[in-house]
A and B are shown apart, each in its own frame.
Chain A
């Protein structure tokens, strides 16, 4: 049940704006998980979503490629525009949305297939590539994900034999291989050790020239290290139901969020006095 609002005259999306989100509300059944979030996401930048648990940052992230479609009870209200196109328009092919707006998940989730098959999976689906082209796509994606040198001699080996950090880079390669425009990362380093985390962070800097990246993270230092802009979400307790609803407090340049945020709640959070 997705409500699509009537198309209203809206300011024309500048070429540098990838997502323009207005008055986004997300419900799980009766429960409102996110209230009235409005923000823009810029092209070829890394935007970090930070905030305490339950603040709705992952929920908002999953609205951006319609991943919430798979949750039976989820309902999205408001406007999510991607390059000026309403993502929740009934005409939109949600599979195509997810091909252009890829996703990397919290826990590395390689398929129980070979390393090669993992990366080739998405590219093969499109049916646009010949066998030799697929080989190229796989190699390029693995190179971009800084994994090629480690796996080039064992492309046929099971992806499950890789370390956690390698698996996560494989998942990034799998995502890159379909040549998306945006990569959504949902706490991609939370299951990794500091060294593997550092590699993923370096990788993000490498690939941001080709992709717009949005990363949800629990780790404020990570947001400060990697992102250009940061959005801070927090929770509000609904006085009627006593349940927590996520709200977007502010979004600004990362430097500003961490040095002189406009909202007191942001300051309390980034200085570690709350959350």
Chain B
């Protein structure tokens, strides 16, 4: 049945019932951020940004530039009203004494900043790579089975393990088995003849190119080629690869069925109650014992009173299941570039749980860091969060390489949907640690994007993390 709808254009503002004075200082109307004046100023800024490369882009949808900002202090931290810090709405929360005990978690759970010195270059220097490591060692099994066929395994095995466990798992398994069956264990190279047959069978040229590249760079390959293949084998392999592509093309997202393990338990469902009483859903993730990183627009909602009245944080939510204690937070942090200037480039903030919040130490936190452009472009980026187009409270994962990066954003074709704002965008390093490089904030037909962790972002996160009880 078709949905009946009607869209009418209205003059003036919407008819929401904003509280008379908003909620706290940032929610209160002020000359700089309310009414037509602010809108007009933004429109002007946007116009200028479109014609001046050196102009800092403002607001959603304006592409970030690779140049220095005109905002002189966009990363200046801003806090929700101080009096809310004493407000504790935690469900089942403990006393401060208990919190102190809780805060005495083993230091190893929250490692200190590594690879970072105060005199390191600013964010404009792509070589600076400050990193806060993940707080707990990931306990996944090491990836095996890649010896037999480097490039294809690199495509299939990670997907089979993480991306498409429910949808494509069977196909991937079969494909892997097939590849294992037709390529000798020691043979790491496909012959040109096989590549040509795959090409004729209609396999995506992009994948074939990767296979060719792998062949060219694999010094160990030698001449030990797979032999004994017949047309049926190659055709079957082509079909398997094609099936894999189809699954990815239809819907890259895979549901996370067990949210009680790393890294999923570090990702939180957010139910946000704006200052004007409106409700929103988003995602956040732990970067410290009591600090949850998210999008700026989750902790400061323009047009709805600014700092939210409260956010209910549910770690590792899985539909109706809440495997960890949930918390109601009322203390938030963001930066001037978002709170005052509404700039997409500064769209990040954190939720600070109350000091007596008894967060399970087993949850741990994500590491995060700043990395050069090419490094980000080379890595497979992953994200997981709580999209609103899926069953309520279910977590979904997806991963892909970035399309492009700017000085302050990362753009990708990773499928996301409303509700995933604030999701971590991470890569997995050689040691298996997950390092966050961006905070997912925007959906767009032209490519979804994250606020990139740059030096000033890193500095603020480090500060907030310490404020939230990190050692």
- A and B together in one complex: no
